[in-house]
Amino acid sequence: MNFMPVSIYHFDGMDVAKKFPLNDWYLTFKAFGGYMHNEISSYLSGLTRQNSVVGGENVRYENNDWLWFLGYAYVQIVSKLPTQSLKRCITNSALSISWANLPQLLPELPIKSSQFHYNDLGFIYDDGVWLSQSELAYVSSNTSWIQSKIHAYFSLGRRFSNLTLYSLFGIVRSFDHNTVKVPALSVPSPVLLSYQQLSNQILNDHGFNEQSISIGTRWDVHENIALKTRWTHYWLGNIGMQQWQSPQTTIFNMMSVGMDFIF
């Protein structure tokens, strides 16, 4: 089992914010816009660059211990995925006998000009001893490439001098998982079978159904150095495993160790 490569993103844009003092609290409104590109994992060509136009706004309400936030972002994809080889296969008239009804897949392939909306709300609490954080987010879109989904997490931790213990629970679930039916082969062929499987993965393997629970530690060994450990137990559902490559089981554990440096 392999974890999908972490998405690498870059954002160029600007934001404008206004802060209002309210007794012991501050209320901040912010609007932002710009251009973003992500490097995402693709069944077609490994890491693929996805370019998007982004705009949105958020509201923050905070004091010394609490931060509440509410946000919205609009994203429109302005790039194409490298589906040329699959399109050539689908539009090849010589394949109409051995693989009928292929053209019906063409409308499902483009991702350029697709839009999705990201909405989130949550809080962060930190009084110097106890700390907690939670977020609930909903993503909706008009393309099967980006499944509408909800994801949420809640964490709770406590500091003991320079050692912090914490727990974390997370869940992500897709909605409206409408499967695109890939036509069956009329004549068996190893080459066409590989394209059929690839088409099914590209068009249908975008779902999420995952839960996890973690416990971890953070040890601030120095003012600028932190050692982190975390154990996570995962449950994966059966409507897509977007974050994983070829999982052999749906229940498993993962242990991670890391170190942060600040210069």
User: What's the confidence (pLDDT) of residue 113?
Assistant: 75
Of 203, 4, 7, the C-alpha closest to 111 is: 203
Return the CATH number at 141: 2.40.160
Of 109, 57, 54, the C-alpha closest to 83 is: 109
Strands (E), 179-250: 209-222, 225-236, 244-245
How does the average pLDDT of the chain come out, rounded?
81
Of 200, 169, 170, the C-alpha closest to 185 is: 200
User: What's the confidence (pLDDT) of residue 1?
Assistant: 47
- The pair of three-digit structure tokens given for residue 18, joined into one six-digit string: 């206004």
Task: Please tell me the total count of domains within the chain.
Answer: 1
User: Considering the entire predicted model, what is its pTM?
Assistant: 0.78
- The pair of three-digit structure tokens given for residue 192, joined into one six-digit string: 């066409």
| Domain assignment of residue 101, given as a range | 2-261
User: What's the confidence (pLDDT) of residue 51?
Assistant: 82
Q: Which amino acid is at 215?
A: I
pLDDT tens, position by position, 244-263: 555 566 788 999 999 988 87
pLDDT tens, position by position, 40-90: 555 555 556 678 899 999 999 999 999 999 999 998 888 776 566 666 666
pLDDT tens, position by position, 125-182: 999 999 999 999 999 887 766 778 899 999 999 999 999 999 999 999 887 666 677 7
Side-chain-side CA neighbours of 229 within 13 Å: the count stands at 6
User: What's the confidence (pLDDT) of residue 124?
Assistant: 97
Question: Distance (Å, rounded) from C-alpha 27 to C-alpha 63?
Answer: 9
Q: Taking a C-beta distance cutoff of 8 angstroms, is the pair 58, 67 a contact?
A: no
pLDDT at 230 over 60: yes
Question: Distance (Å, rounded) from C-alpha 181 to C-alpha 204?
Answer: 9
Of 174, 173, 175, 197, the C-alpha closest to 185 is: 197
Strands 244-245 and 8-22: unpaired
